[in-house]
Amino acid sequence: MDLQLLGKTAVVNGASQGIGFAIARRLAAEGTEVLISARKEDALVSAAKQISEETGRKVRTVVGDIRMLDGCNNILAAVEEMGGVDILVNNDGAPPLGPALDFDDLRWSRAFEQNLMSVVRMSRGVVPGMVARGGGSIVNITALCTIQPMPNFGLSVSTWAGVIGLAKTLSLELGPKNIRVNTLCPGLVETPRANLTDGPVSSGPGNDELQAALKAIPLGRKGDPAEIAAVATFLASPLASYVTGTTLAVDGGVSKNLL
């Protein structure tokens, strides 16, 4: 299936590994010129090299911490240098896990900056260029816990709920300008972050909870980052030209919602 992405341009944040990397790789494989960002330069550069070698596409990099206005501005300056983008993928790591009321104001502010303000700032930065080129697509990566909250994910749930609200609002405001805005809610995905027993999220669920979470997946396994990337790439592509304002679970069937 031709996703009609040849010659398009995209910026994918949080793309040195995991889901962001898989999305950048798939977009490049479909013919998109990709700008990828993350905080650690070495990993970012080697991710770009891998994608470029695999796809034959030019892959640009820019270092930026999307929790900060400056970090977003760095990324937006690089977007400007490449003449704007057709596609923005908002993705990164996530705030720490733990009981919601255990976090102080500083932690809450950081979560707000990371999960919500980064999406506001990046969207605000790229939309004028999208308008000038006659349209565009914004895809936000959140998590299933945003639509099915669970204990210990309060910082993410609270701030990503704002992202879903923002995406719906932007889909109404930007639809007439042919800019689509959609949000994905992945379930458990096999990335360094999802290795909950020994991964970077040390305060996350232990092995028993991980086994219970796996049992609750109708498809019986974690997702592969490429499976999230396939859906994100479709939503980003012109083939999804009549899809906007949606919030879509990509979770192996865990979500019990009718819609």
Residues that bind ligand NAP (CB under 6 A): 13-20, 38-40, 43, 65-67, 91-94, 114, 141, 143, 186, 188-189, 191-194
Identify which of 65, 62, 63 has the alpha carbon closest to the alpha carbon of residue 82.
62
Closest to ligand NAP by CB, 177 vs 221, is: 221
Order of strands, edge to edge, in the sheet holding 9-12? Answer: 59-63, 33-38, 9-12, 87-90, 136-141, 179-186, 247-250
Closest to ligand NAP by CB, 43 vs 120, is: 43
Closest to ligand NAP by CB, 27 vs 174, is: 27
Q: What's the min distance (Å) between Cβ of 123 and ligand NAP? A: 16
Closest to ligand NAP by CB, 150 vs 243, is: 150
In angstroms, rounded to a whole number, what is the distance separating the alpha carbons of residues 253 and 247?
15
Closest to ligand NAP by CB, 72 vs 174, is: 72
Q: What's the min distance (Å) between Cβ of 53 and ligand NAP? A: 18
Q: What's the min distance (Å) between Cβ of 188 and ligand NAP? A: 5
Residue 2's Cβ-side half-sphere holds a number of Cα atoms within 13 Å equal to: 3
Contact present, 146 and 185 (Cβ < 8 Å): yes
Q: What's the min distance (Å) between Cβ of 104 and ligand NAP? A: 19
What are the residues facing 88 on neighbouring strands? 11, 138
Contact present, 32 and 57 (Cβ < 8 Å): yes
Q: Which residue is nearest to ligand NAP (CB)?
A: 18
In angstroms, rounded to a whole number, what is the distance separating the alpha carbons of residues 60 and 83?
13
Q: What's the min distance (Å) between Cβ of 93 and ligand NAP? A: 3
Contact present, 10 and 27 (Cβ < 8 Å): yes
